[in-house]
Structure 1
C-alpha cells in the first residue's frame, strides 16, 4: 500500500476543499491515487465545497460569547440568509466561538483547532457544513477582548438564537464598580453602538486619511459661500471637528440625544457608583459589512443560456 504523506493530503485538500480527515481516508481507500481520490470524494459529496467556494458568501451570522474576563465576537458567512436559521450552521458558529474565547487568537488558529464535540478541526467541520448544507460558508473574522478588573458587556441585534444575530457588540468596562452597575451601563452603551455604528472611541482616533477626505469636501462647500478666506478656514475646521466628533463613540449623542453624550452617561454612572468607570474598548461587527455582493442579472443569465443552446 502506498504511503500517504502529509503533502498528499494537503494537495488533495487544496484541490477539493474537503476536510483533512476525509482527504486522508480517500487516499487510503484509493491506494494513494490522487485522481481516484478526487473521484472518491466527489462520489461521497465531499468535494462539492471546492466548486461552491467561488460563490459570494455575504449573509450568515455574527456570534458573541463572554466567558469570565474574556469575550469574542466572530462572523461566519453563508450565501443566503436562510442558512442562518439552520441548526447545524448555528452549532458551528457556537463551536467556533467556544474555541475563540478559549484562546483562539485569529481565524487561522481557530480553523486549525479541534472542533468541540466533533472529530477533526474547525476547518474540517466547516468543509463538512459546506458539503452537507449546500452553500459556500466562511469563517471570515474574529475579535477578542479581555478585562482585568471590570466587566465585558455584550449585545446581539436581530438575534435568531441566544448569542447569534446580525450585529454583535462587545463593550469593555474597566472599574471596581458593582457588576450589576457595569452590566446595566454596558447594555445601554452596547445598544447605542449597534444603532450608531461609531468608528472609533475618541475623536483623535479617527483615521487622518478620512479626516483629510472630509476636509476636501468641507473646503469645496465653504468655497461656494462667498465668505472671506478667514471665515472659510474656520468653517472648514469646524466641519472637520464636527465630523470627527460624530464618528467617535464618546462624543456621540446617546441614542441620538445631543444633550447627553455617551461620555456623560458613563460619568454619571461612575459618580453614582462612587468609583471611576473607564470604557477601554468596544467591538461592533455586522454580517456582510465590506463584502461586495454580486448583482445577478436574471435576464442576462437566460439570454446566455439560450445562446449556449443555439
Structure 2
C-alpha cells in the first residue's frame, strides 16, 4: 500500500479545503491516489469542485452575442488551463450556455453569471480535470452595434451613433488587430501622458542633452502627439485603408464611434513560468530515491 506522506495530505487539503484528518482518511481509502481521493470526496458530498493542482486558468475563449436589432450585445471571457480544452465541445457548450444566460438575463457584469453557472462549472471541472472560470463580462447598448471574433481568442464590440452594422463590424475588426488603448485623445489621462513623456526623456537623454529648452519641448510634443495617435482608436490609420483615420472613416459615413470593448483571452493574467529542464531533473532525482 502506498505510504501516505505529509506532503500528500497537504496537497489534498489545499485542493479541497477539508481538514487534515479527513484528507488523510480519504487518501488511505484511495490507496494514496490524490485524484481518486478527490473524486471519492466529491461523490460523498464533502466537497464540490476541487482546485486543480496549482494550474492557472489563462487560456479559454471569448464569445459574443449581438441582439437581432443590433442595439445590444454581450461579450464574455471564460478561462481554461489549456487551449486544448477551449476547443472541446464540452467547454464550448459551457461558454455558449453562459453567454445565452447572460444575454437573456440582462447581466452587466460577471458576478451574477458566475453564481448562476457554478453547478455547471463544477460539473465541467470534475469531467475535464481542468480549472474553468468565468472571468469577465460586459453588456453594451447603443444606436448601432457591430462585433467581431478573431477565432476564439479575441472579441470586440463597437458602438456607433449612426452608420451601419457593417461599418461597426469593420471597425471592430480594426480594434482586434490594432488594440487601441483609448477611444480618442481626449480620453487619455494626464498620468498616461506624463508617463510617456518620462519614458521619452529617459530613452533620449543623450540626444536631448545640451539642446535649447524650446527644441526639447517640441521633441516631447511630437512624441506625445504620436503616442496619442497610436493609442487612440479614432486617430489610428484604418487597417483596410491606411490613407484614412478610423474617426474620419466613421464621419464620412455619417457616423461617430461611441465606444468599444476588446477582450483577449488571458490578458492581464500572470502565467506561471515552467522550467521544463528543472522539472525533468527533479523527476529523475526523485526516481532514484
Native 8 Å contact 1:204 1:244 kept in 2: no
Q: Could you say which residue in structure 1 is the equivalent of 2:134?
A: 139
Superposition deviation, residue 306 in structure 1? 3.7
* 1:15–1:289 CA distance, 2 compared to 1 (3 A): closer
CA contact (8 A) 2:77 2:265 kept: yes
Q: Is 1:110 equivalent to 2:113 in the alignment?
A: yes
Equivalent positions of 1:161-176 (< 5 A) are 165-175=152-162
Q: Distance in 2 between matches of 1:154 and 1:288?
A: 20
Cα distance in 2, alignment partners of residues 81 and 88 from structure 1: 13
Could you tell me which residue of structure 1 aligns to residue 222 of structure 2? 238
Task: Using the TM superposition, give the Cα deviation of residue 224 of structure 1 relative to its aligned residue in structure 2, in angstroms.
Answer: 2.2
Alignment partner of 1:224: what SS? helix
Q: Distance in 2 between matches of 1:286 and 1:257?
A: 24
Contact 1:47–1:131 (Cα < 8 Å) also in 2: no
Matching residue of 2:202: 220
Does the 8 Å CA contact 1:222/1:236 hold for their aligned counterparts?
Answer: no
SS in 1 for 2:247: helix
Q: Per the alignment, in what secondary structure is the counterpart of residue 293 of structure 1?
A: coil
SS of 2:271's equivalent in the other structure is coil
Q: Kindly tell me: are residues 96 and 259 of structure 1, through their superposed partners in 2, closer, same or farther at Cα, counting changes over 3 Å?
A: same
Q: Does structure 2 conserve the Cα–Cα contact (< 8 Å) formed by 1:70 and 1:101?
A: no
> Which secondary structure does the structure 1 equivalent of 2:269 belong to?
coil
RMSD (CA atoms): 2.6
Which residue matches 2:22?
Answer: none
Q: Are residues 1:157 and 2:159 paired? A: no
Matched, 1:192 2:178: no
Q: Is the 8 A contact 2:48 2:122 kept in 1?
A: no
Partner residue of 1:290? 268
The secondary structure found in structure 2 opposite 1:199 is coil
Give TM-score scaled by structure 1 length.
Answer: 0.74
Count of residues in Structure 1 that have an aligned counterpart in Structure 2: 251
Change (3 A) 1:49 1:263: same
Q: CA deviation at 1:237?
A: 1.8
* Unpaired segments ≥5 residues, structure 1: 1-13, 18-37, 114-121, 159-164, 176-180, 271-276
Q: 1:39 to 1:101 in 2, by over 3 A?
A: closer
- Asked if 1 retains the 8 angstrom alpha-carbon contact of 2:183 and 2:233, the reply is yes
- Detail structure 1 runs of 4+ shifted over 2 Å in the superposition: 14-17, 38-49, 207-210, 220-227, 256-259, 302-310
Residue aligned with 1:98, SS: helix
Contact 1:65 1:101 in 2 (8 A): yes
Note the C-alpha offset of 1:46: 9.4
* Match among 86, 89, 106 for residue 87 of structure 1: 89
Inter-partner Cα distance in structure 1 for 2:215 and 2:54: 54
Q: Choose the corresponding residue for 1:99, options 98, 101, 116.
A: 101
